[in-house]
């Protein structure tokens, strides 16, 4: 879905009792992109396998494909305690050529299909650049060199075998640094420690990328989990608390000073670089309507908390860029089946539509994401939030709900907002919104033929008798959407 600056509608006569109002959200996002990620299907696989799933992502309307670049997988002698003698970590040619193969292949394949590659520079780290484990205290100086090497390789001027590799312009740092299995330790003596470590990694990565010609690129920090459930506080940090500590402020957003600043590693604080905050706003059981219990947590229905935190930190001069956007870079709904503790499959299409509506209506949300495309194996380990089962079978109703999002929100008994889209749609393509009451026939809403914006979306408000009791769908030359009840 591509950006647009004007939302068009097709003129239509208004019937008695029916009024078409203005677009539902004049301030809605006009440049929101769709991100898809599934390294298991696109990275360490055969060329044919990779092509199959990237083609599918393209057919589903992905604009951006995210790839996690695992430092340990590229580094030489990753299990050794000492860095290889003479190794220059800033030079991509000093890494084993074979270790780059999978990343070169996926970046080239993404670009060949007209999508943007998005590289997340992530752990685990090689043993020689970390502590007692490959996620414990990764060394910022070595990470800077790694970032420079990756940036050089994907600068748009690096040649391999006579072929110039594509340029990458979207980057992020690490993965879920507020989870101990990705970054350790989370706490030391009751004090938050992971944000301090992560701060160093962000500064290092930005410096390394800038040194390799990427100073003007999209540079995202965060990639945080949304919750720290009761009893898990020692292995996770709530995301907004993590942000505050990373930015060297206390719980009241007052910058640390004096001895306290030194204790928190903030005595030489530098404003944090970044053009956006990457976030994984997964929901609790019950979907987007269930709010996170702590004010320092935020699911997709609580993104206002994240923006409030970012803006308060910006007011304290913690960031180089003001009014940072939020990039939803990993998202999906765990389903039953196969996970018996997850949301029933039949409810997920409604959750998906609502989540995308929540993202769309905020102009500072830069992206919407689906992770993964295919479920991980097993019933509850890993992620079962894909559009396909691990067997490859499409999840009924879920797969088409991603391709054709739809959500209907009650505003009053006679007024509803209808949001939807054709993810592969073209700007100006017409869709017709239909409704029916009870067992009656489907009929087009007068004024309900609208043009997709260049993101592929539409968003309209209707006043109609019995609006909140009706069911809705939309049709277009390529087919029809699922049927949606009104969300009250």
Distance CA 7, CA 30 (A): 9
Query: At residue 70, what are phi and psi to the nearest 5 degrees?
Result: -85, 115
Half-sphere exposure of residue 403: CA atoms within 13 angstroms, side-chain side: 20
Q: Which residues form the domain of 321? A: 33-404
Q: pLDDT value at position 229?
A: 75
Pairing verdict, β 415-421 and 457-463? antiparallel
Tell me whether the omega of the peptide bond preceding residue 295 falls within 30 degrees of 0, making it cis: no
369 and 442 inside one domain: no
Domain-located, residue 78:
yes
Contacts 24+ apart (CB under 8 A), 138-141: 138/71, 138/183, 138/197, 138/201, 140/200, 140/201, 140/203, 140/204, 141/204
Per the structure, how many domains does the chain have?
A: 2
Tell me, what's the pLDDT at 233?
Answer: 66
* CATH code at position 215: 3.20.20.80
Residues 48 and 130 in one domain: yes
**Among the three residues 404, 422, 445, which one is the final residue of a domain in this structure?**
404
Whether residues 98 and 218 share a domain: the answer is yes
Strand partners, 34: 368
**What are residue 474's phi and psi, to 5 degrees?**
-135, 150
Quick check: 74 and 99 in contact, CB under 8 A? Answer: yes
Residue 321: both structure tokens together: 């860029």
What digits encode the pLDDT tens for the residues 9-43? 333 333 333 444 446 766 677 689 999 999 999 99
Residues 400 and 421 in one domain: no
* Alpha-carbon span 116 to 218, nearest angstrom: 12
Together in a domain, 337 and 481: no
In angstroms, rounded to a whole number, what is the distance separating the alpha carbons of residues 259 and 468?
Answer: 59
Per-residue tokens: 99: 């270790």
Q: Is the Cα dihedral 177, 179, 181, 185 positive or negative?
A: positive
DSSP 157-206: --EETTEEPPB--EEEE-S-TTBTTTSB-SEETTEE-HHHHHHHHHHHHH
Q: Which of 466, 483, 488, 473 is CA-nearest to residue 409?
A: 488
The tokens for 465 are: 């008798």
Pairing of strands 191-192, 187-188: antiparallel
pTM for the full predicted model: 0.94
- Are both 340 and 473 inside the same structural domain? no
Q: What is the pLDDT of residue 21?
A: 46
> Helices 97-112 and 47-59 sit at what angle, rounded to 10 degrees?
30
Per the CB < 8 A criterion, the answer to whether 468 and 413 are in contact is yes
Facing residues of 466 across strands? none
The last residue of one of the domains, among 372, 404, 436, is: 404
β-strand partners of 313: none
* pLDDT confidence of residue 5: 32
Residues 335 and 471 in one domain: no
Kindly state whether residues 391 and 424 are assigned to the same domain: no
Domain membership flag for residue 232: yes
SS3 58: helix
Q: Is residue 169 part of a domain?
A: yes
- The DSSP-derived string for 209-235 is HHHTT-TTSEEEEEEE-S---TT-TTT
437 and 338, same structural domain? no
CB-CB contact of 222 with 174 (8 Å):
no
Asked if 435 and 307 sit in the same domain, the reply is no
Tokens 């996170």 map to which residue? Answer: 292
Contact partners, residue 401, CB within 8 Å, separation at least 6 = 348, 349, 352, 353, 482
* String of DSSP letters for 438-476: TT---EEEEEEEEE--TTSEEEEEEE-TTGGGEEEEEEE
Give the whole-angstrom CA distance, residue 480 versus residue 473.
Answer: 7
Q: Is residue 1 part of a domain?
A: no
d(CA 369, CA 1): 12
Spatial separation of the C-alpha atoms in residues 417 and 36, rounded to whole Å: 27
Angle, alpha carbons 406-412-418 (nearest 5°): 20
pLDDT of 464? 95
Of 357, 387, 404, the last residue of a domain is: 404
Question: pLDDT tens-digit profile of 118-149?
Answer: 999 999 999 999 999 999 999 999 999 999 99
**Pairwise CA distance, residues 437 & 466, whole Å:** 8
What is the per-residue pLDDT for 24? 72
CA atoms lying within 13 Å on the CB side of residue 126: 21
- Cα separation, 416 vs 414, in Å, equals 7
- Given the structure tokens 């030194």, which residue do they identify? 262
pLDDT for 234: 81
218: closest CA among 359, 361, 325?
A: 325
Q: Cβ distance 349 to 407 under 8 Å?
A: no
- Reduced to 3 states (helix: H, G, I; strand: E, B; else coil), residue 373 is coil
Q: Which residue has the tokens 């205290």?
A: 137
pLDDT mean values, one per 10 residues, the chain (488 residues): 37 36 64 96 98 99 98 98 97 98 99 99 98 97 99 98 97 98 96 98 99 99 92 87 99 98 97 99 94 96 98 98 98 93 94 98 97 90 93 97 98 96 96 97 96 94 96 97 97
Question: Do 345 and 467 belong to one domain?
Answer: no
CATH code at position 458: 2.60.40
Domain co-membership, 348 together with 425:
no
Exposure on the CB side of residue 248, measured as CA atoms within 13 A: 25
């Amino acid at each position: 879905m591509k950006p647009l600056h004007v939302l068009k509608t097709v003129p239509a006569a208004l019937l008695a009792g029916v009024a078409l109002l203005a677009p539902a959200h004049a301030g809605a996002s006009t440049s929101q992109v769709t991100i898809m990620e599934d390294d298991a299907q696109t990275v360490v696989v055969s060329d044919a396998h990779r092509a199959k799933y990237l083609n599918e992502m393209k057919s589903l309307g992905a604009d951006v494909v995210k790839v996690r670049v695992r430092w340990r997988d590229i580094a030489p002698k990753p299990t050794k305690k000492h860095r290889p003698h003479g190794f220059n970590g800033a030079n991509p040619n000093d890494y084993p050529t074979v270790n780059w193969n999978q990343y070169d292949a996926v970046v080239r394949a993404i670009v060949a299909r007209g999508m943007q590659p998005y590289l997340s520079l992530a752990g685990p780290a090689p043993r020689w650049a970390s502590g007692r484990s490959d996620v414990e205290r990764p060394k910022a100086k070595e990470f800077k060199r790694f970032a420079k090497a990756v940036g050089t390789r994907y600068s748009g001027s690096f040649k391999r075998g006579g072929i110039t590799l594509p340029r990458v312009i979207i980057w992020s740092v690490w993965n879920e640094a507020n989870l101990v299995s990705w970054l350790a330790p989370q706490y030391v003596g009751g004090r938050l420690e992971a944000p301090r470590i992560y701060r160093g990694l962000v500064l290092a990565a930005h410096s390394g990328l800038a040194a390799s010609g990427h100073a003007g690129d999209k540079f995202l920090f965060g990639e945080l989990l949304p919750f720290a459930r009761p009893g898990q506080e020692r292995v996770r940090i709530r995301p907004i608390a993590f942000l505050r500590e990373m930015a060297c402020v206390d719980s009241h957003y007052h910058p640390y000073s004096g001895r306290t600043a030194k204790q928190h590693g903030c005595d030489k604080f530098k404003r944090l670089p970044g053009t956006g905050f990457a976030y994984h706003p997964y929901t609790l059981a019950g979907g987007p309507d269930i709010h996170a219990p702590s004010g320092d947590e935020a699911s997709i229905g609580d993104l206002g908390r994240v923006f409030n935190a970012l803006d308060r930190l910006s007011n304290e001069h913690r960031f180089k860029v003001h009014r940072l956007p939020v990039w939803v870079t990993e998202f999906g709904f765990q389903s039953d089946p196969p996970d018996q503790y997850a949301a029933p499959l039949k409810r997920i299409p409604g959750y998906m539509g609502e989540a995308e509506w929540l993202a769309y209506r905020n102009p500072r949300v830069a992206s919407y994401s689906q992770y993964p495309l295919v479920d991980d194996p097993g019933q509850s380990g890993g992620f079962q939030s894909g559009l396909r089962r691990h067997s490859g079978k499409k999840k009924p109703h879920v797969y088409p709900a991603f391709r054709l999002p739809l959500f209907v929100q009650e505003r009053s008994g006679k007024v509803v907002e209808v949001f939807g889209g054709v993810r592969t749609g073209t700007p100006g393509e017409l869709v017709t919104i239909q409704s029916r009451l009870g067992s009656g026939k489907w009929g087009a809403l007068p004024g309900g033929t609208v043009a997709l914006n260049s993101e592929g979306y539409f968003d309209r408000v209707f006043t109609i008798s019995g609006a909140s009791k009706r069911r809705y769908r939309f049709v277009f030359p390529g087919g029809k959407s699922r049927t949606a009840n009104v969300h009250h």
